[in-house]
Amino acid sequence: MARIWVYAEMTAGGVVEKTALEILTKARTLDGDVEAVALGPGATAAAAILGEHGAKTVYASDDPVYGEYVAWPASHALHELTKEHQPNLILFPSTYESRDVAARLAARTGSTIMSNATDLLGASSAQTAIFGGSLLVDVTLEGPDPKIVLVRPKSFDAEPSGGSAQVVPVEVAIPDAVKRSKRVERIVAESSGPKLEEAPVVVAGGRGLGNRDNWKLVEELAGAIGNAAVGATRAVVDAEWVPYALQIGQTGKTVKPRVYLAVGISGATQHIVGMKSSDRIIAINKDAEAPIFQLSDLGIVGDALKIVPALVQEVKSRKA
């Protein structure tokens, strides 16, 4: 039977990155023994939640070295563990941290590395979505084990199954030679309102808003709705209207709110992959041919600069 590992990235706060729990939930339905590797402060304690989500064994180390230096110590430890336990497949969350860990590991093992998986089909097969999610591609992974796959956030719902995991302490020595990319400081951006990835409503703006001054319309609408987060397209971020932390899409965040309201967004592939799984999608755009309308439950072809102020009033009156 295949041995399937999930890299349970530990966040700065000492908890498991949520995507790892999503991946475990799916991995436990595959034909294989599912185990997790957690490296960094909080790892041993995290074995409980990893077990609940399907890991039978958790290889854990609470050594702070994994947080103090980016990627290299973790990929080094994973490589040593891989030689000892010989997993067939290692699944990583598609995050800034895990992407570097997975890549360095793949370069060491010479294994295939697949990014942006949106579904898992077996120990050597995964699915990805291309062209804004309009096509699904089944990929067969070849070459030496472990196959390495990065899975996009929110590809699955995380659900506990009530299991528990055996903890195996990781005792890999980390040589100084891999302690070279030093994390000096962590800065958390100030933000108000709900987190973009967790908000029940996301109001997102694109270049169709015309200029930076009109961005306040998006914020006013989110404020009027309440419990809504503000997001943006890459074009708007590149134009420096808003910080990168608001970017939704391929290179930004993946969101899955109950309602996604796209204002002046045409629906470029790069954006769609980050929001297409939203429960309901509303779009406002001048161009009736904009691809965003193909995904929309409700689409209004018109001028966002007129519709949004009116919508703010409509929302306020319905909430009153």
Partner 1 sequence: MNITVCIKQVPDPNQPYKLSGTRLDREAVQPVLDPGDEFGVEAGLKLAEAHGGEVTVLSMGPAKAMEAMRRALSMGAHKGILVSDEALAGADAQATAQVLAAAIKRNPFDLVIAGTESADGSTGAVPAMIAELLGVPQATFAKQLEVKEGTLTIHRQTQEGYDVVECALPAVLTVTSGVNEPRYPTFKGIMQAKNKPVEQLSAADLGLSVAASQQVAAVNPAPARGQGEIFEDDGTGAARIADFLKNAKVI
Residues 171-230 interacting with partner 1 (rule: CB under 8 A): 180-189, 200-201, 225-228
Task: Select from 75, 82, 155, 233 the one that contacts partner 1 (CB under 8 A).
Answer: 75
Per rule CB under 8 A, count of chain residues that contact partner 1:
97
In angstroms, rounded to a whole number, what is the distance separating the alpha carbons of residues 100 and 145?
19
Q: Looking at beta carbons only, is 31 or 142 nearer to partner 1? A: 142
In angstroms, rounded to a whole number, what is the distance separating the alpha carbons of residues 203 and 253?
14
Report residue 48 as tokens: 């409980």
Nearest to 70 by CA among 170, 172, 190, 185: 185
Between 22 and 51, how does the x/- string for binding to partner 1 read (CB under 8 A)?
------------------------------
Task: Select from 214, 220, 294, 305 the one that contacts partner 1 (CB under 8 A).
Answer: 294
Report residue 281 as tokens: 């999608």
Task: Select from 29, 48, 131, 164 the one that contacts partner 1 (CB under 8 A).
Answer: 131
Q: Does 83 bind partner 1 (CB under 8 A)?
A: no
Task: Select from 116, 163, 219, 223 the one that contacts partner 1 (CB under 8 A).
Answer: 116
Cβ at position 281, least distance to partner 1 in Å: 8
> Is the four-CA dihedral 296, 297, 300, 305 of positive or negative sign?
negative
Nearest to 262 by CA among 289, 292, 302, 221: 292
Between 249 and 288, how does the x/- string for binding to partner 1 read (CB under 8 A)?
-xx-x----xx-x------xxx-----x--xxxx-x---x
DSSP string, 206-267: -GGG-SGGGHHHHHHHHHHHSSEEEEE-HHHHHTTSS-GGGBBSTTSB----SEEEEES---
Q: Looking at beta carbons only, is 25 or 112 nearer to partner 1? A: 112
Q: Looking at beta carbons only, is 65 or 139 nearer to partner 1? A: 139
Of the candidate spans 33-41, 43-51, 80-88, 125-133, the one that interacts with partner 1 by CB under 8 A turns out to be 125-133
Q: Looking at beta carbons only, is 28 or 104 nearer to partner 1? A: 104
Crossing angle of helices 215-225 and 304-319, rounded to 10°: 20
- Grouping H, G, I as helix, E, B as strand and the rest as coil, residue 313 is helix
Q: Looking at beta carbons only, is 57 or 94 nearer to partner 1? A: 94
Q: Does 64 bind partner 1 (CB under 8 A)?
A: no
Of the candidate spans 41-49, 83-91, 154-162, 290-298, the one that interacts with partner 1 by CB under 8 A turns out to be 290-298
CB 297 within 8 A of CB 282: yes
Task: Select from 33, 80, 100, 220 the one that contacts partner 1 (CB under 8 A).
Answer: 100
CB 199 within 8 A of CB 257: yes
